[in-house]
A and B are shown apart, each in its own frame.
Chain A
Amino acid sequence: MLSRVADSLYWMSRYLERAEHTARVINIQLNLMLERGSQSEDLDWARVGRSLGMEQSGEDDEDWSAEDLAQSLLHDASNRSSIVASIVNARENARQVREQISSEMWEQLNRLFHAVRRSSPEVWDSRDFLQSIKEGAHLFQGITDSTMTHSEGWQFIQAGRYLERAVAVSTLVGAHFREFHQPAQAGSERVYLEWIGLLRSCTAFEAYCKAYTADVKPERIAEFLVLHPSFPHSIRFSAEALETAIKEIGREAGSRRAARVERIAGRLRATLGFSQIDEIMSGGLHAYLHELLRQCGQVHSALYQTYISYPIEAALEA
Chain B
Amino acid sequence: MAGIATKHTLPAPFHEYELDDAFDEMVDGGGAVRPHYRHIYEALRELTGEELRRRQQIADLSFLHQGITFTVYGRDEGTERIFPNDLLPRVLTREEWTRIENGLTQRITALNLFLKDIYHEGRILNDGVVPREIIYSCKHFRRQMRGLNVRNDAYVTVAGTDLIRMPSGEFVVLEDNLRVPSGASYMLVSREVMKRLFPDLFRKCGVQPIEHYSQALLSTLRALTPQGSPRGTSEPTIVLLTPGVFNSAYFEHAFLARQMGIELVEGRDLVVHDNFVYMRTTAGLRRVDVIYRRIDDDFIDPLAFRPDSSLGVPGLFNAYRAGNVSMANALGTGVADDKAVYAYVPAIIKYYLKEDPILDNVETYLMSDPSQRKHVLGRLQDYVVKAVGESGGYGMLIGPHSTAEQRDEFRRRVEEDPRNYIAQPTIRLSRAPCFLDGNVQPRHVDLRPYILFGDKVTVVPGGLTRVALRKGSLVVNSSQGGGSKDTWVLD
B282: chain A residues at CB < 8 Å are 1-3, 6, 152, 249, 253, 255, 307-308
Are A3 and B245 interface neighbours, CB within 8 A?
no
Are B269 and A96 interface neighbours, CB within 8 A?
no
Are A4 and B283 interface neighbours, CB within 8 A?
no
B284: chain A residues at CB < 8 Å are 255-257, 310, 315
B281: chain A residues at CB < 8 Å are 1-3, 253
Q: A308 CA to B282 CA in the complex, in Å?
A: 6
Closest to A255 in B: B283
Does chain A have a CB within 8 A of B254? yes
A290 CB to nearest B CB, Å: 31
B280: chain A residues at CB < 8 Å are 2-4, 308, 310, 315
Does chain B have a CB within 8 A of A312? yes
B69 CB to nearest A CB, Å: 12
Q: A152 CA to B269 CA in the complex, in Å?
A: 18
Are A4 and B254 interface neighbours, CB within 8 A?
no
Which of B19-27, B121-129, B260-268, B355-363 binds A? B260-268
Known pairs A99-B258, A312-B273, A316-B273; A253 contacts B266 (CB<8 A): no
A120 CB to nearest B CB, Å: 19
A98: chain B residues at CB < 8 Å are 67, 245, 254
Are A312 and B285 interface neighbours, CB within 8 A?
yes
Closest to B280 in A: A3
Chain A 252-273 interface residues, beta-carbon cutoff 8 Å to B = 253-257
Chain A 266-318 interface residues, beta-carbon cutoff 8 Å to B = 307-308, 310, 312, 315-316
Chain B 222-280 interface residues, beta-carbon cutoff 8 Å to A = 244-245, 254, 257-258, 263-266, 268-269, 271, 273, 278-280
Known pairs A98-B245, A99-B254; A4 contacts B285 (CB<8 A): no
Closest to B285 in A: A315
B211 CB to nearest A CB, Å: 20
Does chain B have a CB within 8 A of A127? no
Known pairs A98-B245, A312-B273, A315-B284; A4 contacts B258 (CB<8 A): no
Chain A 1-45 interface residues, beta-carbon cutoff 8 Å to B = 1-4, 6
Q: Mark A234-260, 1 if CB is under 8 A from B, else 0.
A: 000000000000000100011111000
A5 CB to nearest B CB, Å: 9
B273: chain A residues at CB < 8 Å are 312, 316
Q: A233 CA to B51 CA in the complex, in Å?
A: 54
B245: chain A residues at CB < 8 Å are 95-96, 98
Closest to B254 in A: A99
Are B269 and A2 interface neighbours, CB within 8 A?
yes
Most buried by B among A2, A103, A256, A308: A2
Q: A152 CA to B282 CA in the complex, in Å?
A: 9
Q: A234 CA to B283 CA in the complex, in Å?
A: 31
Q: A96 CA to B245 CA in the complex, in Å?
A: 6
The total number of A-B Cβ pairs within 8 Å is 56
A2: chain B residues at CB < 8 Å are 263, 265, 269, 279-282
Are A316 and B269 interface neighbours, CB within 8 A?
no
Are B279 and A254 interface neighbours, CB within 8 A?
no
A1: chain B residues at CB < 8 Å are 281-283
Known pairs A99-B254, A307-B282; A4 contacts B269 (CB<8 A): yes
Chain A 93-114 interface residues, beta-carbon cutoff 8 Å to B = 95-96, 98-99, 103
Q: Mark A137-174, 1 if CB is under 8 A from B, else 0.
A: 00000000000000010000000000000000000000
Most buried by A among B254, B278, B283, B284: B284
B151 CB to nearest A CB, Å: 25
Q: A2 CA to B245 CA in the complex, in Å?
A: 16
B99 CB to nearest A CB, Å: 39
A81 CB to nearest B CB, Å: 25
Q: A254 CA to B244 CA in the complex, in Å?
A: 28
Q: A229 CA to B268 CA in the complex, in Å?
A: 41
Closest to A6 in B: B282
A103: chain B residues at CB < 8 Å are 65
B265: chain A residues at CB < 8 Å are 2
Closest to B65 in A: A103
B258: chain A residues at CB < 8 Å are 99
A265 CB to nearest B CB, Å: 15
Closest to B284 in A: A315
Chain B 279-303 interface residues, beta-carbon cutoff 8 Å to A = 279-285
Most buried by B among A99, A256, A308: A99
A3: chain B residues at CB < 8 Å are 269, 280-282
A9 CB to nearest B CB, Å: 11
Q: Mark B53-96, 1 if CB is under 8 A from A, else 0.
A: 00000000000010100000000000000000000000000000
A4: chain B residues at CB < 8 Å are 266, 268-269, 280
Closest to A92 in B: B245
A241 CB to nearest B CB, Å: 19
Closest to B279 in A: A2
A246 CB to nearest B CB, Å: 12
A254: chain B residues at CB < 8 Å are 283
Q: A103 CA to B278 CA in the complex, in Å?
A: 30
A223 CB to nearest B CB, Å: 37
A50 CB to nearest B CB, Å: 35
Q: A184 CA to B28 CA in the complex, in Å?
A: 99
Q: A2 CA to B263 CA in the complex, in Å?
A: 8
A257: chain B residues at CB < 8 Å are 284
Q: A249 CA to B282 CA in the complex, in Å?
A: 9
Q: A315 CA to B269 CA in the complex, in Å?
A: 14
A95: chain B residues at CB < 8 Å are 245
Q: A152 CA to B281 CA in the complex, in Å?
A: 12
Return 17 A-B CB contacts under 8 Å, by A number: A2-B269, A2-B280, A2-B282, A3-B269, A3-B280, A4-B266, A4-B268, A96-B244, A96-B245, A98-B67, A99-B258, A103-B65, A255-B284, A257-B284, A308-B282, A312-B278, A312-B285
Chain B positions near chain A (C-beta within 8 angstroms): 65, 67, 244-245, 254, 257-258, 263-266, 268-269, 271, 273, 278-285
- Interface contacts beyond A2-B265, A3-B280: sample of 9 additional A-B pairs, CB < 8 Å, sorted by A: A1-B281, A2-B280, A2-B282, A4-B269, A95-B245, A98-B67, A98-B245, A255-B282, A257-B284
Question: Closest 8 CB pairs between A and B?
Answer: A3-B280, A253-B282, A307-B282, A315-B285, A315-B284, A253-B283, A99-B254, A1-B282
